[in-house]
Chain A
Amino acid sequence: MNMSNSTVQLHIDGHQVEVAAGTTILDAAKQAGVQVPTLCHHQNLSPTASCGVCIVEIEGSPALKRACCTPVEPGQKITTNSQQLRGLRKSLVELILSNHAVECPTCASNGKCELQDLANSMGVEFDRFEKVVDKRPNDTTSVSISREPNKCIACGRCVTVCNEIQTVNAITMSDRGFDVAVGTFFNEGLGNSSCVNCGQCTVFCPTGALRERSETDSVWNAILDPKKVVVVQEAPAIRVSLAEEFGLDMGEVTVGKMYAALKRLGFDYVFDTNFTADLTILEEGTELIDRVKTGGKLPLITSCSPGWIKFMETYFPDFGEYTSTCKSPQQMFGALVKTYFAKERGIDPADVVSVSIMPCTAKKFEARRPEMRDSGFQDVDYVLTTRELVRMIKEARLDFKNLPEESATDIMGAYTGAATIFGATGGVMEAAIRSAYYLLVGQSLANLDVKIVRGMEGIKEGTLSIPSKELGTLDVKVAVAHGLGNARKLLDKVRRQIAETGKSEYAFIEIMACPGGCVGGGGQPYGCTIADRARRGEGLYREDAGMAKRQSHENPEVARIYKEFLTSPGSEKSHQLLHTCYWERSIQSGSCLELKTHKHAASHAH
């Protein structure tokens, strides 16, 4: 190996290419315009090298090498396609298929399955090897995610994302040889593990062995029941995630078509979670200003992301009292639909079926938390992921691409640009900064674009100077982390600061469980890369930039709900309906150990 050179020259399929030293053969081949087939490999995860599909020949070397994990060496002559390689790759895929429950027509990842695609393009023979599929039971212990072990090809992506990116460590490779399986501690199931329901494992799964616990049947049943009033809310990220599934450009915002599709599916009232995103800013902004004024616990940490909340309860329970008491926008919405809206329209809340469309699998868990029943009912009845909504739209045979645009219901449907960016990492922080600045200074920021908290950097931070009339100039240090591994890094630092000096340098922290924020959520279309997430986020920032109202406090419907129902941000009624409490959980089983904070115990003195 030539250590003095930072680049390496080699030949791949006759193409000469010069790449940085340490580049894998797979990436070098890409630079040479050659795509080596892969299966277990994912561009955003460290290679597990488990499948062998990416084998290549190196001249002078008797052994075949896996391109995904073998660094290039100077002067190599590499062949990626030959009779030998074609035959071996085909056999490998045939062997994998012999141990795979091939249920393509009914599979959640049909059409997105990487094994299906590979098998189809290689022209494999389906029955070449005797079928050996152990009937291992499906894991249905989690309310968010189900695992079908008979579809698992043991690629290890889910384990890598759970352990390396999210540092949740709920799953592992267990046993050996033919018995190798992905499992939790003693195979007690995801629902009895440290799993935080983020669902990143489902997004990275190449074969549909992991999917959301589907609730589409329950939602169809409600829609088709004439006695029920079925209402729906959609998270910010949904409006930017449907386009790519229906032949439009990735990152295109299709809010009007989304409303139209939901109405045509039969929902009686189409609202928008963005409305409660704006409401969240007023509640959480008030909480922040309050804590700053009264010397309350800082940093304040956002509470919109239910994967993050369970992670906090499991690994950082000491941060319970730092975390905002605000419910997530989904749950604020749920609590208001069965109280404010039902009263407003004279509907019996018992007849209301409240559905939310979320980019998230953890929202299914959140909706079922015992704390989330402040309306006197389960506040949100069913949570559908983006993938489930896409299936419903397909089942209804809607021509999504050409649907004429419609609007949401006026009440609880209006939103500002600040709400829409909740779907991207840094968005909640930016929205909060816009309104907190206005509330403290009495005028809006000269430039509403708070660029320091945007982008895909894992941990972002910056200091804002806020010339408050009442408090003097405040220098507020903020930080944003997305992906739970980044959250862990940031919180370890904050914990250290608090232990050493009694306080942290940060006043306000945004944490989102999923890389990229909600646009990269575990309920999003299969196979999305980090780059895809960035493009969806950019779509939301474009929508925001084009809106007349870009600050949450400008939302007229939010003003109305305070006037008619909630009184003021942080009021007793707000605390009763819109705020919550947190538990400490067992790292081994995820079960609740002890209530760490108490509802209605916020520092707000109104």
Chain B
Amino acid sequence: MRKEMNTQEILQRHGKGADELLGLLHELQDAHERHYLPPESLGAAAEHMGLPASEVYGVASFYTMFSLKPRGRYIVRVCQSPPCHLLGSTDVSRELVKELGVQLGETTADGMFTLEMSSCLGVCGVAPAMMINDEVYGNLTVARIGEIIDEKRSAT
């Protein structure tokens, strides 16, 4: 689904100036195989935008949606909104911790998965829900977790 583009192509799609920065950072992060913003990406963004590198770093470190550390090829985001919570999202995340062998916010040693919590994914009708990269998984049960993760493991 995600368009793979190189940094230069992405930069060329954006004008200069602070108001373009967030969109640019999103695209740079999405384009990175490890879903994060390394110093090279932020440095290139700063240079392209004509902004100080320190300022771009300040922005990227402020927003939780940006990561400055390498993440897994698959980012698993478990919805932590109240409807999902009521329908068992804590069990889901507990099962994910067990299945992946990492705590929330961590990445598996093989670089495959990062486990995160997310604010409302907007699919309360199928709560509890999670996303893996751009794909939504609803009506989750503890039993399904191993199956979904295995499917991702074998897809690579």
Seen from chain A, the residues whose Cβ lies within 8 Å of a Cβ on chain B are 163, 169-176, 183-186, 193-194, 587-588
- From known contacts A169-B54, A174-B57, infer whether A185 and B62 are also in contact, taking CB-CB under 8 Å: no
- Of B39, B53, B54, B62, the residue contacting A175 (CB under 8 A) is B62
| With A163-B52, A169-B52, A174-B62: A588-B43 Cβ-Cβ less than 8 Å | yes
Q: Which residue of B lies closest to A170 (CB)?
A: B54
Set of chain A residues within 8 Å of B62, measured between Cβ atoms: 174-176
Q: Name the one of A163, A176, A185, A587 contacting B57, with C-beta atoms under 8 angstroms.
A: A185
Partner of A186, one of B52, B55, B57, B64: B57
Contact sample, A vs B, 16 pairs, CB 8 Å cutoff? A163-B52, A169-B52, A169-B53, A170-B54, A172-B52, A172-B58, A174-B61, A175-B61, A176-B62, A184-B54, A185-B43, A185-B56, A186-B39, A194-B54, A587-B53, A588-B53
Select from chain A the residue with minimum beta-carbon distance to B52.
A169
Docked complex Cα distance between A588 and B45 (Å): 12
Q: Which residues of B contact A174 (CB under 8 A)?
A: 57-58, 61-62
Q: Which residues of A contact B56 (CB under 8 A)?
A: 185
Please, which residues of chain B bring their CB within 8 A of the CB of A173?
58
Instruction: Please classify the interface of chain B as helix (H, G, I), strand (E, B), loop, or mixed, using the class held by over half of its residues.
Output: helix
Q: Can you list, as one digit per residue, whether each of B40-73 has a CB less than 8 Å from chain A (1) or not (0)? A: 0011001000001111111001101000100000
Quick one: given A163-B52, A186-B68, are A172 and B43 in contact (CB under 8 Å)? no
Which of A171, A185, A193 has a CB less than 8 Å from the CB of B39? A185
B68 cross-chain contacts in A, Cβ below 8 A:
186
CB closest chain-A residue, reference B62: A176
Query: Which residues from chain A contact B39 at a C-beta distance below 8 Å?
Result: 185-186
Cα-based distance from A176 to B56 in the complex (angstroms): 14
Measured in the bound complex, the distance between the Cα atoms of B55 and A144 in whole Å is 22
User: Hey, which chain B residues are within 8 Å of A186, CB to CB?
Assistant: 39, 42, 57, 68
User: 7 tightest A-B contacts by CB?
Assistant: A169-B52, A172-B58, A172-B54, A174-B61, A185-B53, A185-B57, A588-B53
Q: Interface on chain A toward B: helix, strand, loop, or mixed SS? A: loop
CB of A186 to closest CB in B, whole Å = 5
How near does chain B come to A178, taking the closest CB pair, in angstroms? 13
Are the C-beta atoms of A169 and B55 separated by less than 8 Å?
A: yes
Beyond the given A169-B54, A184-B54, please list 19 additional residue pairs across the A-B interface where CB-CB is below 8 A: A163-B52, A163-B55, A172-B54, A172-B57, A172-B58, A174-B57, A174-B62, A175-B61, A176-B61, A176-B64, A183-B57, A183-B58, A183-B61, A185-B42, A185-B54, A185-B56, A186-B42, A588-B43, A588-B46
Residue with the highest number of chain B CB atoms closer than 10 Å, among A163, A587, A588: A588
**Residues of B close to A176: CB separation below 8 A:** 61-62, 64
Chain B 63-97 interface 0/1 with A at a Cβ cutoff of 8 Å (1 = within): 01000100000000000000000000000000000
User: What is the CA–CA distance of A587 and B42 in the complex, to the nearest angstrom?
Assistant: 13
A169 to B55 Cα, complex, angstroms: 8
In the complex, A173 Cα to B52 Cα: how many Å?
Answer: 13
Give chain B residues whose Cβ lies under 8 Å from the Cβ of A170.
54
- A171 pairs with B53, CB closer than 8 A: no
Query: What is the bound-complex CA distance between A402 and B61, given in angstroms?
Result: 54
Residue of B nearest to A188 (CB): B39
Determine whether the beta carbon of B61 is less than 8 Å from that of A193.
no
**With A and B bound together, what is the CA distance between A184 and B61 in angstroms?**
11
Q: How far is the CB of A104 from chain B (nearest CB, A)?
A: 30
Interface residues of B in 115-129 (CB under 8 A from A): none
> Which A residue's beta carbon lies closest to that of B37?
A186
Nearest-Cβ distance from residue B91 to partner chain A, whole angstroms: 28
Q: A170 CA to B58 CA in the complex, in Å?
A: 11
Instruction: Return the chain B residue nearest A174 by Cβ.
Output: B61
Q: Which residue of A lies closest to B56 (CB)?
A: A185
> What CA separation (Å) do A588 and B58 show in the bound complex?
14
Chain B residues closer than 8 Å to A169, beta-carbon distance: 52-55
Q: How far is the CB of A184 from chain B (nearest CB, A)?
A: 6
In the complex, how many angstroms separate the beta carbon of A297 from the nearest chain B beta carbon?
A: 27
Complex: A184 Cα to B43 Cα, angstroms: 12
Chain B residue nearest to A187 in the complex (CB): B57
CB distance from B53 to the nearest CB of A (A): 4
Which one of B54, B57, B62, B64 has the greatest number of beta carbons of chain A within 10 Å?
Answer: B54
Task: Provide the bound-state CA to CA distance between A163 and B39, in Å.
Answer: 21
Closest to B51 in A: A169
Q: Which of B46, B56, B58 has the most CB of A within 10 A?
A: B58
Asked if B61 contacts A171 (CB within 8 A), the reply is: no
When C-beta atoms are compared, the residue in chain A nearest to B68 turns out to be A186
A185 to chain B: closest CB distance in Å?
Answer: 4
Set of chain B residues within 8 Å of A587, measured between Cβ atoms: 53
Smallest beta-carbon distance A165→chain B, Å: 14
Chain A residues in 8 Å Cβ range of B46: 588
Cα-based distance from A184 to B52 in the complex (angstroms): 11
A168, closest chain B residue (CB): B52
Nearest CB in chain A to that of B55: its residue: A172
Choose among B55, B61, B64, B68 the residue with the greatest number of A CB atoms under 10 Å from its CB: B61
Q: Which of B53, B57, B64, B68 has the most CB of A within 10 A?
A: B53
Q: Tell me the minimal C-beta distance from B34 to chain A in angstroms.
A: 16
Query: Which residues of A are found within 8 Å of B55, using beta-carbon distances?
Result: 163, 169, 172
**CA A194 to CA B39, docked complex, whole Å:** 15
Q: Give B3 Cβ to nearest chain A Cβ, in Å.
A: 27
Residues of A within 8 A of B61 (CB): 174-176, 183
Report the minimum CB–CB distance from A168 to chain B (whole Å).
9
**B contact residues around A194 at 8 Å (CB):** 52-54
Nearest A-chain residue to B46, judged by Cβ: A588
> What distance in Å separates the Cβ of B17 from its nearest Cβ neighbour in chain A?
16
Chain A: CB-nearest residue to B60: A174
The CA of A174 and the CA of B54, in the complex, are separated in Å by: 9
Give min CB distance, B105 to chain A, whole Å: 13
Q: Which residues of A contact B53 (CB under 8 A)?
A: 169, 185, 194, 587-588
CA distance A172 to B58 in the complex (A): 6
